[in-house]
């Protein structure tokens, strides 16, 4: 992999220069802002998207609420597992950062160390996007858009090669989808138990008093029946 990085005729390197070269035509203050967005902003937006999806699923309720929330809980867990899986991969491949092997790379974020393949940011965002897609198609598509934007930003900032990003996308997707059946089997009973809890159940779906506490609902029904009988 390091040998590929040394070849200036390699399409991976050419695409790196093409995308990173866009930063040279952008004002310095905007570069700083885009660097912050690529480093932290998109990850924060992904977290907010997961929370927004949870709120939508909770309000919608229905029989599939527990399954949808299970997928949402799995999304960040899958991202964390994918990053852990990436650690030995990076140590094995040992691909240097683009700015180490190539001159003229405009690095927008300082302090990046370690090896380049695969991108943690791309892995994180794609794993969460895959989990989102299982839970809710529209939110999943939005998550996919954020993941693609994150991947582009990592190359734009000079932190990764395009193949680092593609590898991160593949790793995040593989972990999220391949381990999803096991995660679903383990997490769904927990989510259903929480759903039937009088208080914590509102974390799974929003319910009115009748749905939330059948005992209270039955008591109110009995009282209403007695009142009608007295009125008669």
Question: pTM for the full model?
Answer: 0.78
- Mind listing the pLDDT tens digit for each residue in 119-170? 999 999 999 999 899 888 899 999 999 999 999 999 988 889 999 999 999 9
Please determine, for residue 109, whether its predicted confidence score (pLDDT) is greater than 50: yes
Token pair of 163 as six digits: 């193949």
| Mean of pLDDT values over 206-216 | 45
Return the structure tokens found at 180: 């999803």
Helices assigned H by DSSP within the chain: 2-6, 11-20, 28-36, 42-60, 65-93, 98-101, 120-135, 137-156, 162-178, 180-195, 209-212, 214-231
pLDDT tens column, 34-86 = 888 888 899 999 999 999 988 888 777 667 678 888 888 999 999 999 999 99
Q: What is the pLDDT of residue 115?
A: 87
Determine which of 5-9, 30-34, 78-82, 216-220 has the lowest per-residue pLDDT on average. Answer: 216-220
Please give the distance of CA 21 from its chain centroid, rounded to a whole number. 28
- The pLDDT, as a whole number, for residue 201 is 76
CA distance 181 to 171: 17
Give the pLDDT confidence of 15-43 residue by residue, as tens digits.
888 888 888 777 777 878 888 888 889 99
Residue 174's pLDDT is 95
Q: How far is CA 13 from CA 18, 39, 55, 140, in A?
A: 9, 22, 42, 31
| pLDDT score, position 108 | 80
- Give the pLDDT of residue 4: 41
């Amino acid at each position: 992999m390091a040998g590929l990085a040394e070849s200036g005729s390699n399409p991976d390197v050419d695409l790196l220069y093409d995308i990173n070269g866009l930063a040279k035509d952008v004002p310095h203050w905007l570069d700083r802002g885009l660097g912050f967005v690529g480093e932290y902003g998109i990850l924060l937006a992904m977290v907010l998207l997961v929370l927004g999806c949870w709120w939508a699923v909770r309000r919608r309720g229905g029989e599939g609420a527990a399954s949808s929330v299970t997928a949402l809980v799995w999304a960040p867990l899958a991202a964390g597992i994918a990053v852990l899986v990436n650690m030995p991969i990076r140590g094995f491949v040992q691909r240097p950062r683009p700015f180490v092997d190539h001159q003229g790379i405009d690095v927008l974020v300082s302090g990046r160390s370690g090896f380049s393949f695969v991108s943690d940011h791309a892995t994180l965002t794609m794993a969460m996007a895959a989990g989102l897609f299982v839970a809710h198609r529209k939110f999943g598509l939005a998550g996919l858009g954020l993941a693609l934007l994150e991947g582009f930003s990592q190359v734009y900032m000079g932190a990764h090669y395009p193949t680092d990003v593609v590898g991160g996308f593949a790793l995040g997707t593989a972990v999220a989808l391949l381990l999803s059946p096991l995660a679903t089997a383990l997490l769904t009973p927990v989510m259903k138990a929480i759903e039937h809890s009088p208080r914590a159940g509102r974390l799974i779906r929003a319910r009115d008093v009748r749905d939330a506490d059948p005992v209270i609902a039955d008591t109110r029904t009995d009282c209403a029946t007695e009142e009608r009988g007295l009125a008669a």
